[in-house]
Structure 1
Amino acid sequence: MSQKTAMHNAGEPGKVPEELQKILENEAENYKDQVQAYVDVCEILSKPGWQIADIVDYIHMLVRSVNLDVLSIVITDPSDKKKFLPVASRGFKSSPSAQVVSCWLPAISEEGTILWDELLEAAFDKKNRLAKWIAREGLNFVGYVPLHDNKKIYGFLLVAVASDKKAPSALASPLLELCGGRIGLVLESRRSIGSLPEKAAQTVKLVQDHLAMLTSYLEVLKISARINPEEVVSTADKCLKTIAESKKMIDLFADQVISTAVEKKD
């Protein structure tokens, strides 16, 4: 005996229900705003000589755009390899104290970089001051974003949700990881002044990789657009075009740098 399934008020075939349409419209707009917040961070990071105080508010705007609330920027001190630079924080009821920051100090290596496993060990310790502070702040979805150049980690972003009523955006991890990579590249460049074209070639290669990653995320955004596709797809196309142009220039620069390095070796 066959069984039939019926739907009440199913609506027109192929037509998105009005409530779902509104949800999808809002989500598409949110994704666009999140990507734009990342682009804004990239612009400030591209300016020479920035300090933590110059970038913290821009990064906090990115953090908030991906449905997180709080931010701390923690970077190792190049002049004292067992310490951190002053921590910049936004959004906390009470920013991490010196005692809380000290919980991360064992993660600093002899050369002044972050040992990620040691950092996570401190992060997951339920009995230290860090854990107690997180509990007092009522933080959820606590995350650590490495500031790295694909080889060394120079610090991290501490991010979290300050309530139990929301969750991070699907783009939170990819956009913040890209942001951490951009910051890490700048830190690596500043700390290795004097290294010659080989180092520049490595840096260019890393930037190429990051552009490729951003391209893939934007492609996902473009493909996933179901509602108001003209605006979303148009925005994605503009970003992709800009990335393609930037990548072309970087490829040319990389060839020039590598050629110079080879000539000097010969």
Structure 2
Amino acid sequence: MSSLIGNHIQKFDTLDSTNNYIAKYCESEKMAEGTVILALEQTEGKGRFFKKWHSDTGQNLTFSFLLRPKNLKASTPLILTKWVCSAICLYLENTGFKPVIKLPNDIFLNGKKVCGILIENKLQNDLITRSIVGVGLNLNQVVFDSDFQHEATSLFKEDGSKRDIDQELNLLLSYLSYCFSRSLSDLEFTEFTFLKFLGRSCYRLTGDEREKINILSVQNEGVVTYQNEIEEIKSCALDDLKLQL
């Protein structure tokens, strides 16, 4: 993978989806690894499980970047998620916030979602050969759709400071590059950073029931080990977990 995310940056006023743009053109245009596609507006921004990501035009950071992993097993996809989440949390922490990661790919501030991450992988045999990492970070948005008004926040809503999109993009890309470079020489760095910000104390939702749990570990293969209120230790697949902070 590239040691520097953002060597090439392309900016657009409007795209349907920055992830879709990379998927469509990365091969035909021989797009370089680390290329960043930024859109001020995404008409079909998407999240996990095809959920729509809504963002006011020109108010937030909505971008994607291309990775071409080497020897990354398809059975360990959470390695990328941990790295990206860790980098964004370090960026937020050093900006004065206290971010919390909500498994598998959301970042919260004060109990509300401020950032979502979508990673789409291309597989060949048992390896991940291409990854498109999409990031949606709420910078300056004040009003959200009624369905999300009480669940979402932005950096502006948290501290009252307007931020320049280009400046924040460059700063965040520097953290992504730093965390990747650091992880190459220190295999435990990403794991330690991820667990530092992980919202371990949370609720597992099953139908109408809510069970308080404490997450003990998250394996790169997607297995989560947790302890419940009666101190039983259990494990399950991340995809089978529905969590609430």
TM-score, with length taken from structure 2: 0.28
Query: Larger % of helix: which?
Result: 1
Q: TM-score, normalised by structure 1?
A: 0.26
Larger Rg: 1
